[in-house]
Structure 1
Amino acid sequence: MYKKVLVMAGAVMLATAAFAQTKPEDTEVWSPVPKVVTPGKAFADAPSDAVLLFDGKNLDEWQSVDHPSQPAGWKVADNVITVDKSKGNIQTKRSFTDYQLHIEYRIPANITGEGQARGNSGIFLASIGPGDAGYELQVLDNYNNKTYVNGQAGSIYKQSPPLVNACKKPGEWQCYDVVWTAPRFNTDGSVKSPARVTVFHNGVLVQDNTELLGPTRYIGKASYEKAHGASPIKLQAHGDKSEPISFRNIWIRPL
């Protein structure tokens, strides 16, 4: 009886602690800090069976998140997409389940700010609603920029820090290569199998078949709250005051 009471008391304490997570800082992890690894220079060309999501010419494969009937409003010039924060997030017109994704990005060489206000963006590997709803792979300048480790580049935001810090200097092109396995749900909406992701940052492994606890949350612990199927991929127009970042050479292979 005494043990049963202790177990019940412990459960109540855990539930109370979870409920008490009401600030963004409650889910920030600052240590251990991933060691720094110098990445190589080569990027991958699109394979023959890839779907080109951005070939340098236009945003025909993309649309506004807040206004899906409208085209994506970011800037395209010199084979590069540059974030336009006034236009909000953009996402693919197509939806995907499991896939291999390649995407390149560049933090401006003249980037200013610190912490999370330094080249902040995100790649939502499955967009499941407006705004920042979905599963976020963080984009940020962490070449010489300290922040909480589950919010630095290569992290699954607020869930899983990167294994190492493989960031290049601002002004240099960088890339993510992602293998995404979407979550599956039972007919009653419960989780049959959670989402999993493997990520290479500039050719260096930073997420190794990581199991996700649910979609990204800025405040509180991640959890699966509703079932969903195939989803678009979303790029974030973050609201910080630093210079906007750019993307190029985006392709995907549905698996």
Structure 2
Amino acid sequence: MKIQLGSTLLFLALSITSMAQTKFKPEDTEFYSSKPPVVTLKNQVPSDAIVLFDGTNLDQWVSRNNPEQPADWTVESGVLTVKPKTGDIQTKQVFEDFQLHVEWKSPEVIKGQGQGRGNSGIFLQGLYEIQVLDNDDNPTYVNGQAGSLYKQRPPLVEVRAKEDKWHLYDIVYKAPRFNKDGMLISKGSVTVLHNGILIQNNTQIEGTTEYIGLPKMQAHGAGPVILQDHGDLVNFRNIWIRPL
């Protein structure tokens, strides 16, 4: 036993010495195949993005209540505005992992307080809400304020609107994965930049973002992006998505 152990240690020592004496060239660790695709920007939109709203129409959207019906929100002067009591709208296409850009603005006339003030939401795969809410000196529960993963995780910092009153969300989302039997393999996660400031850093999603009760983890595949009708005249513009 001692002889075998000694031989093994000697072999390992010789191997390490041999590796240390090996001389590498720079090209030994360089590869040139599988080059990444070229992506350019045009009007601040990546060339490989799917434009969901460019200010002209709602061709990429349908009613959430009845996907056979077109979206019935208001489009005027390049801006999409919630039409209260018409219901949420959702993308015609469904997605898994993606990068999403959305710009939003609180109503011109602010009414109410807390969750009743400029409320809307962006639902990832139709299940996980990133909160949209007027956050100009508007106290509410912190895991329900603007930029929160609703009722799960508050933003790292509170970001106010720019001088033109518009907010920018850049969202990088990784969908949860389930096996063929519907068992969870890995939870989803989300990273959010609010006006260029990191507010959610690879945040783990515990399940659906419920208004009442705990998150629910339900097996699902690809899903739409949903914009919420919460009864307030919230505005949106420049919406695009890059499937990853």
Question: Which of 221, 224, 230 pairs up with 2:214?
Answer: 221
| 1:254 Cα deviation after fit | 0.5
Q: State the AA in 2 paired with 1:168.
A: A
Q: Is residue 247 of structure 1 aligned with residue 236 of structure 2?
A: yes
| 1:170 Cα deviation after fit | 9.2
CA distance in 1, matches of 2:236, 2:139: 23
Q: Which residue number corresponds to residue 222 of structure 2?
A: 230
Q: Which residue number corresponds to residue 192 of structure 1?
A: 185
Q: State the AA in 2 paired with 1:94.
A: Q
**Structure 2 unaligned blocks of 5 or more:** 1-42
- Written as runs of structure 1 = structure 2, the 5 A alignment for 1:25-36 is none
CA distance in 2, matches of 1:86, 1:155: 24
Q: Is residue 54 of structure 1 aligned with residue 53 of structure 2?
A: yes
CA distance in 1, matches of 2:212, 2:132: 18
Aligned length: 202
CA deviations 1:65-97 (Å, max 9, x no partner) are: 001100000011101100001210000000001
Q: Which residue number corresponds to residue 107 of structure 1?
A: 106
CA distance in 1, matches of 2:219, 2:149: 20
CA distance in 1, matches of 2:67, 2:108: 32
Find the residue that maps to 2:85 and give its secondary structure.
helix
CA distance in 2, matches of 1:246, 1:102: 14
Instruction: Give the TM-score taking structure 1 as reference length.
Output: 0.77
CA distance in 2, matches of 1:194, 1:238: 28
CA deviations 1:11-42 (Å, max 9, x no partner) are: xxxxxxxxxxxxxxxxxxxxxxxxxxxxxxxx
**Using CA pairs below 8 Å that are at least 6 residues apart, which structure has the higher relative contact order?**
1
- Written as runs of structure 1 = structure 2, the 5 A alignment for 1:85-100 is 85-100=84-99
| 1:176 Cα deviation after fit | 0.3
Find the residue that maps to 1:86 and give its secondary structure.
coil
CA distance in 2, matches of 1:232, 1:141: 24
Which range moves more in the overlay, 104-113 or 150-159?
104-113
| 1:45 Cα deviation after fit | 1.5
| 1:171 Cα deviation after fit | 6.3
Is this contact kept in 2: 1:141–1:170, CA < 8 A?
no
CA distance in 1, matches of 2:160, 2:119: 13
Find the residue that maps to 2:143 and give its secondary structure.
helix
Indicate the structure (1 or 2) with the bigger Cα radius of gyration.
2
Q: State the AA in 2 paired with 1:98.
A: D
| 1:202 Cα deviation after fit | 0.9
| 1:174 Cα deviation after fit | 0.8
CA distance in 2, matches of 1:163, 1:173: 20
Q: Which residue number corresponds to residue 180 of structure 1?
A: 173
| C-alpha RMSD of the superposition | 1.4
Is this contact kept in 2: 1:125–1:233, CA < 8 A?
yes
Percentage of matched positions with identical amino acids: 57
| 1:110 Cα deviation after fit | 2.2
CA deviations 1:150-177 (Å, max 9, x no partner) are: 0000000000000000021796111100
Question: Which of 154, 158, 161 pairs up with 1:161?
Answer: 154
Q: Which residue number corresponds to residue 140 of structure 2?
A: 147
Instruction: Give the TM-score taking structure 2 as reference length.
Output: 0.80
Q: State the AA in 2 paired with 1:114.
A: Q
**Structure 1 unaligned blocks of 5 or more:** 1-43, 128-133
Find the residue that maps to 1:150 and give its secondary structure.
helix
Q: State the AA in 1 paired with 2:203.
A: T
CA deviations 1:207-236 (Å, max 9, x no partner) are: 000001001111111130x21101000000
| 1:109 Cα deviation after fit | 3.4
